[in-house]
Amino acid sequence: MRPATFPGCRLFVLAGIAGAVPLGAPAWAQGQPADGEPIILGRRETWKGFELASLTAAVNTEARYRSFRRETEGQPTLTDTERYILGEIEVGGEAYIGHRNLLDVTGTVRLGLENTNLNSDTQGASLDDTNQRTLYDVSGLILQEGPAPLTVYSRREQVQLDRQFGGTIDSVNTEHGAILRYRSEVAPTYIHYFHRESNQTDQLGTIDYDSVQDTFNIRTDVNMGDTQRLSAEYTLDLVDERQSSSYQNSFTRHDALFVHEIDFGRDARSHLRSSLRLYDESGLADLRRVRLDETLRLQHTDDFDTRYDVSAEDSQRHGQEQRYLSARFLARYKLFDSLVATGSLGASTLEVDGDASTQLYDVSGDLQYTKRVPYGRLDATIGVGFTRQEDGERGQPFLISDDRVTLEDPRPSVIARRNVVANSAFVTDSAGFRIYVEGIDYVVDYFPDHIEIRRIVGGAIADGEVVLVDYTVGPEPAATFDTPNASISARYTFEEGPLNGLSPYVVYQWLDQSVDAVDPTRFVLEELHDLKYGVDYRIGNFTFNAERQNHDSNIFPYDSTRLEARYDLRMSYSWALTGNLTREITDYSNTGEQLTLDRATLRVYGRLGEDLDLNARVEYRDESSRLAQDITGFEQELNLVLRKGKTSITGGLRNSVLDSGVSSTTSQTISVGLRRTF
């Protein structure tokens, strides 16, 4: 059927609505006049009911085998196996409805049948099921040339998430939403609404996470000239989430942020930033927070600048109100080209429901020295400081929220808080959405003067991940703590001569805490001498590091030795090889424990010829302990993609073994896929 063409009078109306091509511009449907042809004045662009700009089609097939085997001392062996077959048709393309500027639709739809055969000793069940699978990613852009283009989209995706030394996780996400962008020289605005449903499961049923989320977000940036900026953002979240049978939460979250920035002074090098945040979350978190931050930076001369920070926060969690106020002054002066002096002075106060209060005062200063020296560069820093903390008598427990902690192997992360209530720690991801499960993802050990958090290998927390920790601190008597501290560091980097690439360094930290209280014996005071020294060496594609650390502390003492060798080779723009070997030995003097962690990683990826892509990884981990079980992990992964014309064949192999002495797990995944495009 021939597409309909609108009469001229209607065309003028619709062209105005859709922001059609300006007068004199070439029309998409008609094109440019050929050489020698007359230019016809008054020609209008042809509108079409439907125009198919592009169309693609493909056939996909996939076969996958997964197995998970767990052997535990004194218990029967558990084996889970899954056989999966998929046949799928994929159609994608781009089309214009009415006009390219009126509605531009792009997307991909995948329809298929999948068969899953599962035999699970863990869940005590077997399954042989055939289902229809529908995946899609479709979006429509309305009035893309107009002042307020609107994108409406809907997508459903299914992916597999690999866990280090653990089984894979099946993740299914469905999202529908709309995005409106208002173009304006004065106040460009972004509005986004979406409804998202997520599900994550593994073969064993240890991970079974569901969430339903509705989110509305609006952001605007007000143009106030070359030296001022104003932005406002508001987000509303409605969330229902469930994890296995142990956790369920429904909450509403309001989050509003207003920021104003202004540059002023000579060459606009001074800066004032003001921000106000309003936050309210119901549910298990039950948190309300109002926070105001002011930051003023003054550039007095080329060599002298100062900074002033003031923060005020009022928060309420689980009915407990906390008020926080802080102020800080920092000055930086460039004495010479190679010497910079920095000093800071700060004070803060925290009040908890009128029952507890803490005042904190600190002063510090340091000198940073950088100098060209024979054969290289010398960097050195020396600093001193003093902190006074005055705690009023605390008659009831109070909650500490969102303490940021980095979980890194092999040592636990330490939170130096006294009198933390046992079993009160609560760990989430850095965004506060995902709640990790104690005993599966992490473990916590409680001590009178601190707590220690360790991630569990094979859990959902990655090595080096930053998490948020909430915990409760119990009642304590009034006390005043004084803590002088000092630090010094130096690094000599050789940049020429026979030692080129060599960089020895040393870092020393000291602090000594004292207390003034009715009964000082109730407190454990920290005395710290931390000495770290080592050397880096870079030669060609190799990087070596040897480091020794003596952490002499009466709270958490240890000595560690770390050796690392790394190799990086990029043979072309698309071919690279990396290898990494580390050994870290840590001795804990308070327990007599010695922990040795050996890790090795080798990865190669690139294109073999014009048709074959390769991505291979081998990772080994061996953790040995005097007092606990040894843990050994070995993981291998290989992925290949072969392309021949419009046909591509993919193959994947992943094998993971984790042995802790008492129990061992083995997970394997083998997959083969075929894709043919038309």
At 49, the amino acid letter reads: G
Residues 435-447, mean pLDDT to the nearest whole number: 84
Burial of 45 (0-12, 13-18, 19+ CB in 10 A): buried
Each residue's pLDDT tens digit, 323-364? 999 999 999 999 988 999 999 999 999 988 766 788 999 999
CB neighbours (10 Å) of residue 157? 13
- Least Cα distance to 216 among 198, 199, 197, 239 occurs for 239
Look at residue 654 and tell me whether its pLDDT is greater than 50.
yes
Residues 536-552, mean pLDDT to the nearest whole number: 96
pLDDT score recorded for residue 321: 87
Burial of 202 (0-12, 13-18, 19+ CB in 10 A): buried
d(CA 61, CA 674): 5
Instruction: Report whether 307 contacts 330 (CB < 8 A).
Output: yes
d(CA 318, CA 337): 53
Which range of 137-141, 552-556, 662-666 scores highest in mean pLDDT? It is 137-141
> pLDDT class for 25, splitting at 50, 70, 90?
very low
d(CA 229, CA 223): 6
Q: What is the dihedral of CA 610, 614, 615, 620, to 10 degrees?
A: -150
Burial of 547 (0-12, 13-18, 19+ CB in 10 A): middle
At 156, the amino acid letter reads: R
Which range of 412-416, 455-459, 486-490, 526-530 scores highest in mean pLDDT? It is 486-490
Look at residue 28 and tell me whether its pLDDT is greater than 70.
no
Instruction: Report whether 213 contacts 223 (CB < 8 A).
Output: no
d(CA 117, CA 247): 29
Distances in Å between the Cα of 110 and the Cα atoms of 171, 496, 630 are 17, 59, 46
Per DSSP bridges, beta strands 270-281 and 287-299 are: antiparallel
Each residue's pLDDT tens digit, 662-671? 888 899 999 9
Residues 6-12, mean pLDDT to the nearest whole number: 35
Look at residue 502 and tell me whether its pLDDT is greater than 50.
yes
Task: Please list the residues that pair with 484 across neighbouring strands.
Answer: 386
- Least Cα distance to 92 among 154, 28, 151, 137 occurs for 137
Residues 439-456, mean pLDDT to the nearest whole number: 86
Q: Which of 41-50, 157-166, 554-563 has the lowest mean pLDDT?
A: 41-50
Instruction: Report whether 491 contacts 378 (CB < 8 A).
Output: yes
Instruction: Report whether 676 contacts 59 (CB < 8 A).
Output: yes
H-run or E-run covering 126: strand 125-142
> pLDDT class for 8, splitting at 50, 70, 90?
very low
Residues sharing a CB contact under 8 Å with residue 386, sequence separation 6 or more, in sequence order: 362, 363, 364, 482, 483, 484, 485
- Least Cα distance to 621 among 377, 392, 489, 455 occurs for 455
Instruction: Report whether 383 contacts 488 (CB < 8 A).
Output: yes
Each residue's pLDDT tens digit, 238-275? 999 887 766 788 899 999 999 999 999 888 899 999 99
Angle at 155 between CA 153 and CA 156, to 5 degrees: 165
Burial of 40 (0-12, 13-18, 19+ CB in 10 A): exposed
Each residue's pLDDT tens digit, 182-209? 999 899 999 999 999 998 887 656 677 8
Q: Which of 72-81, 131-140, 371-380 has the lowest mean pLDDT?
A: 72-81
pLDDT score recorded for residue 44: 53
pLDDT score recorded for residue 254: 96
Percentage of the chain lying above the pLDDT 70 cut: 91
Sign of CA dihedral 348, 354, 357, 359: positive
Instruction: Report whether 467 contacts 438 (CB < 8 A).
Output: no
pLDDT score recorded for residue 174: 95
Percentage of the chain lying above the pLDDT 90 cut: 56
pLDDT score recorded for residue 246: 67
Each residue's pLDDT tens digit, 208-221? 788 899 999 999 99
At 648, the amino acid letter reads: S
Structure tokens at 533: 């020294």
pLDDT score recorded for residue 543: 97
Task: Please list the residues that pair with 213 across neighbouring strands.
Answer: 196, 239
Look at residue 164 and tell me whether its pLDDT is greater than 70.
no
Look at residue 58 and tell me whether its pLDDT is greater than 90.
yes
Look at residue 448 and tell me whether its pLDDT is greater than 90.
no
Distances in Å between the Cα of 190 and the Cα atoms of 235, 259, 261, 322, 394 are 12, 16, 20, 34, 46
pLDDT score recorded for residue 46: 63
Residues 19-25, mean pLDDT to the nearest whole number: 36
> pLDDT class for 90, splitting at 50, 70, 90?
very high
> For the chain, how long is the longest CA-to-CA vector?
102
Look at residue 26 and tell me whether its pLDDT is greater than 50.
no
Residues 583-600, mean pLDDT to the nearest whole number: 91
Look at residue 675 and tell me whether its pLDDT is greater than 90.
yes
Task: Please list the residues that pair with 7 across neighbouring strands.
Answer: none
> pLDDT class for 397, splitting at 50, 70, 90?
confident
Task: Please list the residues that pair with 240 across neighbouring strands.
Answer: 212, 250
Burial of 407 (0-12, 13-18, 19+ CB in 10 A): buried
Which range of 77-81, 222-226, 558-562 scores highest in mean pLDDT? It is 558-562
**Mean pLDDT of all residues belonging to the chain:** 87
Instruction: Report whether 664 contacts 55 (CB < 8 A).
Output: no
